[in-house]
Chain A
Amino acid sequence: MRKFKIPHKFELVTIIELYAQWIKEGKLKVNSDWNKDIKAKFTVQDPCNIGRKSGSNKIVDDLRFVIKTVVGEENFIDTVPNRDNNYCCGGGGGALQAGFPDQRRAYGRTKFNQLAVTGANYVIAPCHNCHGQIEDIGEHYGGNYHVVHLWTIITLAMGVLADTERTYLGPDLAEVGL
């Protein structure tokens, strides 16, 4: 809208900012009790569009606040570098459909190495492109992680994630809260 100078009356926000706001307001009552004994480790992929390209770290900081709330601060392992300095996964900008899979995966090697050294079993990917690419490079390079949407972990913490909504969870979390 900015690029084409299209006027609009509505305000544009991301769901991540709303999750953070709802948690702070007490509307979304979540905590990390479910993970106290399991201690599943999580890391995160910062989508370029809501990090570096948004012009501030507000959304990616909200993202960390939400994740730490629902998995426990001690169970979140950040990537290095991160936030506005994060590496792109290599799936963005149309790369997933550009028809150069070898180059796309070579690009993704940087991201894969970065995720692998966190040792986390779960990568939270709040962008669908990143989700697709990180799953693909995980399979390609033999990673030990599962890639999950943010809403999956929030609803797991809420205790309302149904058995049919657990496609991306590993066996350690497959039965949690059912």
Chain B
Amino acid sequence: MAEAIKIDELDIEFKDEVLSKVPDANFDLCLTCGTCTGGCPASEQFGMDPRKLIRMLNLGMDDEVLKTDWKWVCSMCARCVSACPMKINVPALIFNLRANVPREKRPKGILGSCDQHIRTGSAMGAAKDDFEFTVLDVAEEIREDHPGFEELQVSVDRVGATMVLNQNSREPVTEPEEMGPLWKILHTVGADWTYPSVMWAGENYCMFMADNEGWKYIIEEFVHHVDNNLKSPVVVNTE
């Protein structure tokens, strides 16, 4: 006959560590109903699913929990916690599992994008000058070649503009022609807008990498630039 698990003797460290950072993550409230798993597209990848992960966490299977690469397949979309009757915060667990991996051992693609962003202001590694050159160049082409947009205005760091727009860095770097349609809409409605030169990109891979320090740095630099240098009252997320 199978032996009962003696709860008091379990060595449960990682759960407590995460709960110390996210006290309302509710891991202990799991009813094992599986609602999370039924609606999770990442279920079964690497033999893992949200319910299983929470069971393993609660049973102190820390080595297995920490080892699984499932934390990089889960997209932290939060469908599980939205559906969970006990509001167990699986995405917060995933974030902390990612953060537990030594920084240099996290996925190269994400690490590279995060580091580039800290260094240059965008995950694609395009620095301020490249960005400014590209957008001004594309704008000039539109003014010359696209009838009705001879007066199109595109600026970087125009102080006092009503709106500051971010832009996913894949557009200026890999498909600059995708910026024109957005600008044409802004021009047509008479929007008063500019791009920031500091942390201008819309993405944030440091967040994906669970690099709190890098994530925070990017946001702080951006907020400081908009509030103190540009003094714009509105920031527009373009995606």
Contact = CB atoms under 8 A, between A and B. Distances in A.
Interface string A60-78: 0000000000000000000
Given A15-B236, A151-B185, A27 B190 contact: yes
Given A6-B223, A92-B75, A100-B69, A107 B41 contact: yes
Nearest to A86: B79
Interface in A79-129: 84-85, 87-88, 90-100, 103-104, 106-111, 126-129
3 nearest A-B residue pairs (beta carbon) = A94-B208, A97-B109, A88-B77
B75, B191, B215 — most chain A CB neighbours (10 Å): B75
21 contacts: A6-B220, A9-B233, A10-B164, A10-B232, A18-B236, A27-B188, A27-B190, A47-B239, A48-B77, A53-B77, A88-B41, A88-B79, A93-B94, A94-B205, A97-B208, A98-B73, A103-B45, A104-B73, A128-B171, A160-B184, A165-B181
A40 interface: no
Contact of A98 (B109, B165, B185): B109
Contacts of A10: 164, 226-227, 232-235
Contacts of B236: 13-15, 18
A15 B78 contact: no
B103 interface: no
B145 to A, nearest CB: 7
B26 interface: no
Interface string B96-123: 0000000000011110110000000000
B82, B109, B185 — most chain A CB neighbours (10 Å): B185
A145 B31 CA distance: 40
Interface string A148-177: 010110110010111011010000000000
Given A87-B39, A93-B94, A162-B180, 6 more contacts: A52-B77, A93-B76, A95-B72, A97-B208, A98-B109, A160-B149
- How big is chain B's contact interface, by range? 35 or more
Interface in B216-239: 216, 219-220, 223, 226-227, 232-239
A22 interface: yes
A4 B113 contact: no
B209 interface: yes
A9 B223 CA distance: 8
B182 interface: yes
Contacts of A92: 75-77
A52 B34 CA distance: 20
